[in-house]
């Protein structure tokens, strides 16, 4: 079975109870399960990793190099600050799609800029948990073409 990496950054372990009006009421575990269910019929499985630590996210991206078909990545607040994560994405081969549950563009101005988007294949914002599924399906479609 081919693999996709689902990577989540800081505070996303709290999904379900963290600001449900902004991020929805689904837990991270339930999001992972739904993504797994949608990719399985296509011969894919999901590896999931969440960390509140920038260096651990970088380590996981490096480990994914050459091993996964693509990465669905919600970098949380590191989106707006991390040159180190940007360099890691640029240094690896698998395509990375940046996902945000909330529409970062209708929130505080510091959320409007992504350090990572320019080195990602694409970005999905504001569609809630569905965004992870759409990103996974896009990575699957892309590798077929
Ligand atoms: C987020 C948006 C970020 O600005 C924020 O820091 C998060 C979650 C989202 O999924 O909407 O932690 O990535």
- pLDDT single digits (tens) 16-74: 999 999 999 999 999 999 999 999 999 999 999 999 999 999 999 999 999 999 999 99
Tell me, yes or no, if 100 is annotated catalytic.
Answer: yes
In which order are the strands placed within the sheet that holds 44-50?
Answer: 44-50, 2-8, 70-74, 96-100, 122-125
What pLDDT, on the 0 to 100 scale, is given for residue 137?
Answer: 98
For residue 90, what are the CA distances in angstroms to 45, 65, 82?
Answer: 24, 11, 13
Closest alpha carbon to 32 in 20, 40, 43, 41: 40
Confidence of residue 144 (pLDDT cuts 50, 70, 90): low
**Shortest-distance atom of ligand 1 to CA 11:** 12
Q: Is residue 77 lining ligand 1, measured as CB closer than 6 Å?
A: yes
Share of the chain above pLDDT 70, in %: 99
Q: What is the pLDDT of residue 88?
A: 98
Q: pLDDT tier at 143 (50, 70, 90 boundaries)?
A: confident
Contact indicator for 143, 112 with CB cutoff of 8 Å = no
Query: Where along the chain do its domains lie?
Result: 2-144
Residue 74 to residue 12: CA distance in whole angstroms: 8
Is residue 132 annotated as a catalytic residue, yes or no?
Answer: no
Please tell me if the CB atom of residue 51 comes closer than 6 angstroms to any atom of ligand 1.
Answer: no
Give the pTM: 0.97
Can you tell me the mean pLDDT for 107-118?
Answer: 98
Please, what CATH class does the domain formed by 2-144 belong to? alpha beta
For the chain, give the mean pLDDT: 97
């Amino acid at each position: 079975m081919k693999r996709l990496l689902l990577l989540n950054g800081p505070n996303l372990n709290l999904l379900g109870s963290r600001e449900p009006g902004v991020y929805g009421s689904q837990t991270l575990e339930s999001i992972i399960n739904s993504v797994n269910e949608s990719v399985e019929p296509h011969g894919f499985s999901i590896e999931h990793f969440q960390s509140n630590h920038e260096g651990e996210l970088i380590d996981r991206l490096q480990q994914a190099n050459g091993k996964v078909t693509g990465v669905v990545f919600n970098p949380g607040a590191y989106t707006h600050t991390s040159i180190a994560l940007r360099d890691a994405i640029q240094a690896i081969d698998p395509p990375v799609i940046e996902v945000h549950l909330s529409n970062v563009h209708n929130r505080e101005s510091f959320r409007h800029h992504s350090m990572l988007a320019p080195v990602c294949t694409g970005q999905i914002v504001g569609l809630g948990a569905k965004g992870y599924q759409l990103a996974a399906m896009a990575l699957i479609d892309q590798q077929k073409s």
